[in-house]
């Protein structure tokens, strides 16, 4: 039935159909169509007009279609779709950027027909105002609830739309919904449940409300004040286009009942502020609310300040004056932390404790007052979840605004905000981006690992973030894993040696440095065994290995996967994150059990046997992977020992379900008190109770030359020289060099995943120096041709930089659209350049690439890993400003059929063994069997005397000596003892290490 027919019979239908529209008033203008969904608007995106989908990852965007429907409220088609969203997803109608923006200022609101599913879910509806186009505009949002069945017309007055504070694509323009430059609308569909929907006839309705042209705001939603002080609330009037008021605006105010008592805790105030016609936009008045000192120790108390506005849009929230908590023992900064925790815990309700165990994503804070309403303990930024603009100042301002909300709670417990700063403050544009962990492992330099952690901590804390979800202590046993670059290497001894990064992040193991403005709480992840999952065992989407099953004996579990966590606990790491993966221990009778449900490992091993006294934070939505209903997810994970739950978009459901489980006796109060005590302890250690807001004194050092110098050195030391026939490297400045390859001049590929966004991206994504720019800045005589299409004659040497494009987690698993082979374009560039001249091939990647079929034509081969933003570091070793010293942190296979292949395997015949790394140092030792015998004797003596420095030096001399002879002659008989020697070195068995190297030498 067409809409005209519906209107003609409105009186009849109103009594029969639940979705019938109310008849239009006689003086109401006719509606203006925005979308009829009859095919007039294509599925397209900017700059053309069109409808397009979006989402948090590849599975989140909904599917859309124009569906023929006999019951369509308007026309014959509707927009229909289905969705299964784990993070966030929805669709947008953008108007053409090449045409003028639309003027909606004469209308009351926007409405549409929605086919209800009665699922009780909220659907966010967003409109786009001002700016250059639909993707560079201010976003204003409201929502409706799908609590009905069948077609219903949803009316959304423009007065109900609020400025989005969780995300803006270009930052503030004027913070006024002007409606004169509108660029379209968007709908965000419910996450965490499968569903479908149908939408029809989006249109503008009604006559404009005069209040749309002016608005009244307050300077903050919460105004904390010390007892006895006077709170000052600034009230500002603003207009569209910053024009003077055309009509007067009045604001009547009065203090109201909150938790504070009028006359006892504060002096009631009331009155009227008048902004006459002609008042300039931005004019402010101040309301003073005096508080009284009563000398009693007490929690914080609230005084709502009710505002009644005439002639303008009222503030979105009622501002609150908060009289700070005072006199209570937990507030005494000189008291021992344990005593403060016990006092605070004794005062908290069950709901407040459940809130402390809840962590939400900043993007979920469409109602920031939920922070106080649910007493949330933590917020996080997922990968790519950033303020706009993405600057240090905006980060600090955003986190301070969230932290301000906690002041409105009884005990004013501060939030602890967390980010995945896994190789520098990688969510922040302009931060110093370090090599990924696999490159740090290649440096074999614990002091450098410490320095990279210290730089990261300083830059993270300077933006107001006190908590880092790093380091990853996984022992990567299969390079097909999409997270393998997050591992320091395949040998637990190597991972343990790099855990100096924890002290770089946190400072001293006793936690005494956590209050410093350049330290953050660290997270050891992912407990336990995430690096050992079997290929093909994952059940998550299209993943092949990530989040799969790790099958081990008890001995393998202890020696390989648990060992790094023992070290982390000894180093005082503050938090631990369990793995998404499942653990299957031979002989324990449990089978494969998700780590978030393994109380035997979290409570028993980590907290019990290892003595971990920090708190355990879940991974992103990880409890949703547990069997059973949601209540079962909650009690299973909490009873297993998870103290805080990362439930990005379901924080309300989690905190409510947890309280219900305690009331039902399925989770004990003792368990809750243990979890909350651990969380509060770390907050006190961090000094958040005394200093909840951002200390930005270190912000000037973010991306500074000093910090970038650390990253540059890390990039240089991470380069592993695998082959160097004829001594091609280092290059000479006088040589004419031809540079080619997809990764020579691409900083996005060079920095990899977890850079600005979760998956990272190719292209000019972050400030920094590409490898090509580094070569040029080093003074090299360089010509560049990405695809090697430029003439190749007349050059002394070629440098071909190839490898991978960015990915993260299971998205990067081999078999999920990825393999270990160079792209066809990279292969062609290598073939062309290396056929024409002596060539060095650099592989920029998160894991080894299969290069054996081209190894004979390549003169020099370098594993560059993912070196970060400082391409000069790569140029430093290519031109000899620094020597190549890096060693393989993982085994480099000959073929994919060899995988998994690791040091210590019985059969071990790789392309290059673990620990391999040629050097361009000039002091390479000389000698043969006799020299190695002497080195072994001296190394054993150093070992007996606990002289680690001498022992390591002697083993390194032996390794370099062996590599000289073995280069180009690697066989299984050589590779296996060579790799074993590096493991022995890392475990302090220096004499045995040299003996193994001597065995490799004899086998050449």
DSSP lists the bridge partners of residue 301 as 323
Strand ranges inside 56-148, DSSP E: 63-68, 77-84, 89-94, 109-117, 121-129, 138-146
User: Is-cis flag, bond preceding 526, omega within 30?
Assistant: yes
Distance CA 256, CA 878 (A): 71
Candidate list 60, 809, 872, 999, residue with the active-site label = 809
Contact 95, 101 (CB under 8 A): yes
In this structure, the number of other CB atoms found within 10 A of the CB of residue 393 comes to 14
Indicate if 400 belongs to the active site: no
DSSP annotation of 899: -
In Å, what is the CA distance from 497 to each residue of 98, 420, 558, 619?
Answer: 57, 22, 17, 25
Distance CA 223, CA 230 (A): 10
Contact 926, 999 (CB under 8 A): no
Distance CA 662, CA 934 (A): 67
Distance CA 93, CA 53 (A): 9
Indicate if 999 belongs to the active site: no
Distance CA 487, CA 471 (A): 9
The continuous run of DSSP H or E covering 660 comes out as helix 651-663
**Paired sense of beta strands 860-865 and 720-724, if any:** antiparallel
Residue at token pair 């379209």? 184
The continuous run of DSSP H or E covering 953 comes out as helix 948-966
DSSP annotation of 38: S
Nearest to 416 by CA among 686, 610, 176: 686
Distance CA 823, CA 802 (A): 9
Contact 809, 715 (CB under 8 A): no
Contact 60, 149 (CB under 8 A): no
Contact 879, 778 (CB under 8 A): yes
Candidate list 298, 445, 451, 619, residue with the active-site label = 619
Half-sphere exposure (Cβ direction) of 954: Cα atoms closer than 13 Å: 28
Per DSSP, the three-state class of 790 is coil
Active site residues: 619, 809
């Amino acid at each position: 039935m067409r809409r005209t027919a519906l209107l003609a019979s409105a009186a009849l239908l109103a009594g029969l159909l639940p979705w019938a529209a109310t008849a239009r008033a006689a003086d109401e203008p006719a509606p203006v169509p925005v979308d009829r969904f009859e095919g007039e608007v294509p599925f397209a995106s900017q700059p053309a007009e069109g409808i397009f989908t979006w989402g948090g990852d590849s599975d989140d965007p909904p599917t859309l279609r124009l569906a023929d429907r006999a019951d369509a409220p308007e026309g014959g088609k509707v927009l229909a779709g289905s969705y299964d969203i784990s993070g966030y997803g929805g669709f947008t109608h953008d108007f053409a950027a090449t045409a003028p923006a639309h003027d909606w200022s004469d209308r009351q609101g926007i409405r549409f027909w929605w086919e209800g599913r009665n699922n009780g879910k909220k659907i966010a509806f967003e409109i786009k105002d001002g700016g250059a186009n639909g993707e560079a505009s201010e976003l204003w949002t409201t929502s409706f609830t799908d609590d009905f069945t069948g077609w219903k017309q949803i009316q959304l007055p423009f007065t109900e739309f609020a400025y989005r504070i969780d995300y803006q694509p270009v930052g503030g323009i004027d913070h006024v919904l002007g409606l004169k430059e509108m660029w379209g609308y968007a709908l965000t569909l419910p996450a965490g449940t499968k569903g479908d929907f149908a939408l029809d006839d989006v249109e503008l309705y009604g006559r404009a409300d005069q209040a749309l042209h002016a608005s009244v705001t307050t300077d903050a939603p919460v105004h904390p004040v010390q007892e006895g002080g006077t709170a000052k609330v600034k009230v500002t009037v603003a207009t569209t286009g910053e024009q003077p008021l055309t009509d007067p605006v009045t604001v009547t105010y009065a203090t109201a009942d909150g938790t504070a008592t009028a006359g006892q805790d504060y002096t009631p105030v009331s009155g009227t502020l008048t902004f006459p016609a002609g008042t300039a936009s931005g004019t402010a008045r101040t309301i003073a609310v005096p508080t009284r000192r009563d000398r009693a120790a007490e929690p914080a108390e609230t005084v709502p300040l009710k505002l009644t506005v005439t002639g303008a849009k009222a503030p979105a929230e009622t501002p609150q004056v908060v009289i700070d908590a005072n006199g209570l023992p937990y507030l005494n900064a000189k008291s021992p932390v344990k005593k403060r925790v016990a006092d605070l815990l004794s005062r908290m309700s069950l709901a407040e404790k459940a809130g402390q165990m809840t962590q939400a994503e900043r993007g979920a804070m469409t109602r920031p007052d939920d922070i106080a309403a649910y007493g949330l303990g933590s917020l996080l930024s997922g990968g790519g979840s950033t303020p706009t603009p993405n600057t240090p100042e905006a980060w600090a301002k955003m986190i301070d605004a969230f932290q301000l909300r906690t002041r409105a709670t009884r005990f004013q417990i501060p939030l602890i905000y967390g980010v995945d700063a896994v190789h520098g403050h990688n969510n922040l544009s302009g931060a110093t981006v370090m090599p990924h962990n696999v490159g740090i492992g290649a440096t074999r330099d614990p002091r450098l690992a410490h320095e990279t952690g210290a730089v990261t901590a300083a830059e993270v804390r300077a933006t107001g973030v006190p908590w880092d979800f790093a380091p990853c202590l996984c022992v990567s046993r299969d390079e097909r894993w999409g997270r393998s670059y997050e591992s320091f290497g395949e040998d637990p001894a190597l991972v343990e040696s790099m855990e100096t990064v924890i002290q770089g992040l946190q400072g001293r193991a006793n936690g005494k440095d956590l209050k410093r403005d350049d330290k953050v709480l660290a997270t050891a992840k992912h407990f336990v065994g995430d690096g050992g999952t079997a290929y093909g065992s994952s059940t998550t989407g299209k993943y092949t290995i990530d989040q799969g099953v790790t099958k081990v004996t008890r001995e393998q579990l202890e020696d390989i996967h648990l060992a790094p966590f023992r070290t982390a606990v000894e180093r005082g790491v503050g938090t631990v994150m369990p793995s998404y993966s499942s653990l299957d221990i031979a002989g324990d009778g449990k089978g494969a059990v998700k780590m978030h449900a393994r109380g035997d490992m979290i409570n028993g091993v980590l907290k019990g046997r290892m003595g971990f006294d920090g708190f355990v934070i879940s991974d992103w939505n990880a409890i949703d992977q547990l069997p059973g209903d949601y209540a079962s997810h909650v009690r299973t994970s909490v009873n297993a020992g998870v103290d805080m739950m990362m439930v990005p978009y379901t924080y309300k459901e989690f905190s409510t379900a947890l309280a219900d489980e305690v009331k039902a006796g399925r989770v004990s109060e003792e368990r809750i008190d243990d979890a909350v005590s651990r969380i509060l302890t770390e907050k006190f250690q961090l000094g958040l109770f005394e200093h909840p807001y951002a200390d930005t004194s270190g912000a000037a050092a973010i991306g500074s030359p000093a910090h970038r110098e650390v990253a540059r050195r890390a990039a240089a030391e991470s380069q592993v020289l695998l082959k160097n026939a004829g001594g091609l490297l280092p290059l000479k400045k006088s040589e004419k060099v031809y540079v080619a390859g997809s990764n020579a001049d691409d900083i996005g590929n060079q920095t990899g995943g977890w850079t600005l966004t979760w998956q990272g991206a190719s292209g000019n994504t972050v400030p920094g120096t590409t490898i090509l720019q580094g070569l040029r800045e080093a003074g090299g005589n360089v010509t560049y041709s990405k695809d090697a299409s430029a003439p190749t004659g007349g050059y002394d040497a070629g440098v071909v930089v190839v490898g991978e494009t960015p990915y993260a987690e299971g998205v990067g698993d081999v078999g999920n659209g990825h393999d270990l082979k160079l792209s066809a374009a990279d292969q062609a560039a290598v073939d062309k350049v290396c056929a024409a001249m002596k060539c060095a091939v650099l592989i920029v990647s998160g894991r080894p690439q299969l290069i054996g079929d081209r190894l004979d034509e390549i003169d020099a081969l370098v594993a560059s890993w993912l070196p970060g933003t400082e391409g000069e570091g790569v140029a430093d070793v290519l031109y000899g400003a620094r020597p190549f010293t890096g060693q393989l942190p993982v085994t480099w296979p000959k073929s994919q059929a060899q995988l998994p292949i690791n040091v210590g395997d019985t059969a071990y015949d790789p392309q290059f063994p673990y620990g391999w790394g040629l050097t361009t140092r000039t002091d390479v030792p000389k000698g043969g069997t006799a020299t190695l015998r002497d080195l072994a004797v001296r190394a054993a003596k150093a070992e007996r005397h606990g002289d680690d420095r001498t022992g390591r030096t002697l083993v390194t001399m032996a390794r370099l000596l062996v590599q000289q002879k073995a280069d180009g002659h690697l066989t299984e008989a050589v590779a296996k003892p060579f790799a074993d020697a590096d493991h022995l070195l890392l475990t302090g068995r220096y004499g045995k290490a040299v003996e193994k190297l001597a065995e490799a030498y004899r086998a050449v």
